[in-house]
Structure 1
């Protein structure tokens, strides 16, 4: 039976997700059948560009539709919580862009609802499904690096977008791009850090525009992570072990090149598309869609590679970083079921 996708918002990341999905030749029996946006003209333009059959002028109308099984939510950060709940309440599986929600309380609330409804939900940390990352994980598990002792990662871009810089939209550099660094450290160490230390700079909105984060996992194991929204960095990450190192090359958050322990540079080509992408290496967005389909068909409500527990841990880490830097949302003062 065909797995039918609905797209929530007609923005830039939704464009790239749909383009990656539609241009991938081996996605199996699944298709994108609908898109919803608050601006119907924009939704219709999006649908025409990507050959999507149905257009909705409200998210609720899409949620009510019996023509979709699963949604991809590409909305602004501050809308994630409400939209996840809306679609779960209406019986839809969910793939929600990172950050999953604004804080750990919202995150746990949404996951609790998904479990209650027995519906699949996953944070769209597409990195976890990168062929390069899977290759790196195999090398680590085979003991090629020995004991992992240190991770150094950098992610810096020049960004003028309100979605990152404005508090009202859930803006935050750590939520927008710092999460990629945090998830890398968790991907490698596979346990919560014992201590978190963050220093950074806030803009006039009270939103973090840069930070250095030190994660201490005990026994001399650490990660030092640098993120910037006003400065372009060399966006790579190196994992150091007692037997050698691996460098995930720029762009580390979805790489097509990795320098492995033996010094060899391996490439991981991505499929091509006739339509342009907004962001680099966005063709890789399809791999998370493949995982969603696999899990739903297997009767799972979470992915083993991006589990509910992992999403909650990331939310807690970002809460801690924001707290240390003094970034506070009104949503932090609320309680959630």
Structure 2
């Protein structure tokens, strides 16, 4: 039986999620409901992606008995409030990054998932692996890790793809990693590196910078690039308050 998904929000990432979901067998996963604060927007999104039901409130989504899993794609500041709504309604949840605004909110979400005995999963940069493998579905996924004293986990993921190909992913908040990716094959190697903000700001060949960091960092990162005479396109919301704007 297919896992029945509900989408919490109708933003661009939910659009991308819906498009990607269509590459999977319908017998495994189906999006059956979408919700937004506006019923009109939810209906437009549902029509565009052939989703059977649309709701004009997130409370209706949480109370729908036909949903197995909810994908949470609202603004970061709403992850805690709406995440609790979904988890306390007994729904498994896949939460877009960042997980929450602080450790207290993360703890509340984890506690709610344990109390309701449901899965709570975060989204991280495994998308890069799927891009490298051109959207292929892995044959198996194995994950391991350690739990830090802070309560956060340090995970490692191994994904096995057809024709004996492997992807290794490691993420850390405890140590400083080089922020790069290495793609190795039988005839060569490609290395992709994420430049530090300061190095990017000094690059004379860059004219426009897209700032897509988490909201609390929009102000310092945006100021860094503008002081370096770069044009900036900032993801919403622009800043945390009027002073920051």
TM class by shorter chain equals: 0.5 to 0.7
Q: CA deviation at 1:155?
A: 6.7
- 2 CA distance for matches of 1:40 and 1:96? 22
- 2 CA distance for matches of 1:26 and 1:154? 37
- 2 CA distance for matches of 1:155 and 1:19? 31
Q: CA deviation at 1:111?
A: 0.9
Alignment partner, residue 10 of structure 1: 10
After superposition, what is the alpha-carbon deviation per residue over 1:84-119, rounded to whole angstroms, capped at 9, x for unaligned? 100011010000100010111111221121122210
TM-score scaled by structure 1?
0.44
Q: CA deviation at 1:230?
A: 3.6
Does the 8 Å CA contact 2:5/2:30 hold for their aligned counterparts? yes
Secondary structure of residue in 1 paired with 2:178: strand
Aligned CA distance change for structure 1 residues 105 and 150 (closer, same or farther; 3 Å): closer
Alignment partner, residue 259 of structure 1: none
TM-score scaled by structure 2?
0.59
Alignment partner, residue 37 of structure 1: 36
Secondary structure of residue in 2 paired with 1:91: coil
Secondary structure of residue in 2 paired with 1:101: coil
Q: CA deviation at 1:158?
A: 2.8
Alignment partner, residue 209 of structure 2: 158
Aligned CA distance change for structure 1 residues 48 and 33 (closer, same or farther; 3 Å): same
Secondary structure of residue in 2 paired with 1:172: helix
Does the 8 Å CA contact 2:129/2:167 hold for their aligned counterparts? no
Aligned CA distance change for structure 1 residues 56 and 150 (closer, same or farther; 3 Å): closer
Aligned CA distance change for structure 1 residues 159 and 28 (closer, same or farther; 3 Å): same
- 1 CA distance for matches of 2:89 and 2:221? 35
Alignment partner, residue 137 of structure 2: none
After superposition, what is the alpha-carbon deviation per residue over 1:133-189, rounded to whole angstroms, capped at 9, x for unaligned? 844528x9xxxxxxxx9625327773378xx6xxxxx7134xxxxxxxxxxxxxxxx
Aligned CA distance change for structure 1 residues 328 and 80 (closer, same or farther; 3 Å): same
Alignment partner, residue 96 of structure 1: 95
- 1 CA distance for matches of 2:9 and 2:196? 26
Alignment partner, residue 21 of structure 1: 21
Q: CA deviation at 1:130?
A: 2.3
- 1 CA distance for matches of 2:128 and 2:27? 17
After superposition, what is the alpha-carbon deviation per residue over 1:19-42, rounded to whole angstroms, capped at 9, x for unaligned? 1112x1446422000000001111
Alignment partner, residue 61 of structure 2: 62
Alignment partner, residue 171 of structure 1: 215
Secondary structure of residue in 2 paired with 1:122: strand
Relative to its length, the structure with more helix (as a share) is: 1
Q: Which residue of 133, 137, 147 maps to 2:168? A: 137
Residue-pair matches, total: 171
Does the 8 Å CA contact 2:21/2:29 hold for their aligned counterparts? no
RMSD (CA atoms): 3.5
Q: Structure 1 residue 83 and structure 2 residue 114: aligned? A: no
